[in-house]
A and B are shown apart, each in its own frame.
Chain A
Amino acid sequence: MGGTTIAVKNDTGPRGGANRKIRILVAKPGLDGHDRGALVLCRAFRDAGMEVIYAGLLPTPQQVAQMAIDEDVDVVALSLLNAAHMTAFPAVKHELEARGGSNILVVGGGIIPDEDRKKLESMGITGNYGPGTPLKTIIEHIETRVRNERWRTTSSGARVRRKP
Chain B
Amino acid sequence: MVRMELQKDKYGGQTGRGVLTGEDLAEGVLKGDRLAISRTITVLEDNLQGSGSIYRRLSRKGGNAFVVGIAGPPGAGKSTLINCLIKEFRARNSKVGVVAVDPSSIITGGALMGDRVRMLEHSLDAGVFIRSMASRGNLGGVSTATRKTILVLDAAGYDVILVETVGVGQTELDVASLADMTIVVLMPQTGDDVQAMKAGLLEIGDVFVMNKAELEGADRAVLQLVLSVKERNGWKPPVLRMSAQRCAGVKELMEAIGKFRERITPEQMLKVRRGRARDELVQSLRSKMEELMEERLTGDGTLERFADLILAGRSDPEEASSKLLSRIFKVKSEN
User: A residues bordering B, Cβ < 8 Å?
Assistant: 1-17, 19-21, 42-43, 45-59, 62-63, 66-67, 69-72, 99-103, 149-160, 162, 164
Contact = CB atoms under 8 A, between A and B. Distances in A.
B111 A67 contact: no
A6 B132 CA distance: 21
B294 interface: yes
A100 B11 contact: yes
Interface in B114-141: 114, 116-118, 120, 123-124, 129-132, 134, 136, 138, 141
A69 B6 CA distance: 15
Contacts of A7: 3-6, 48-49
B64 interface: no
B42 interface: yes
Contacts of B113: 51-54
13 contacts: A3-B8, A5-B7, A6-B6, A6-B21, A6-B25, A16-B47, A45-B110, A46-B105, A49-B109, A62-B124, A99-B35, A152-B7, A158-B3
Interface in B1-38: 1-13, 17-22, 24-25, 34-35, 37-38
A11 B295 CA distance: 12
Q: Which among A13, A51, A158 has the highest number of chain B CB atoms within 10 Å?
A: A51
A53 B120 CA distance: 12
Nearest to B132: A53
Contact of B2 (A51, A52, A103, A153): A153
B21 A59 contact: no
A54 B118 CA distance: 11
B155 interface: no
Interface in B79-129: 104-105, 108-114, 116-118, 120, 123-124, 129
Given A6-B9, A49-B110, A69-B38, A56 B117 contact: yes
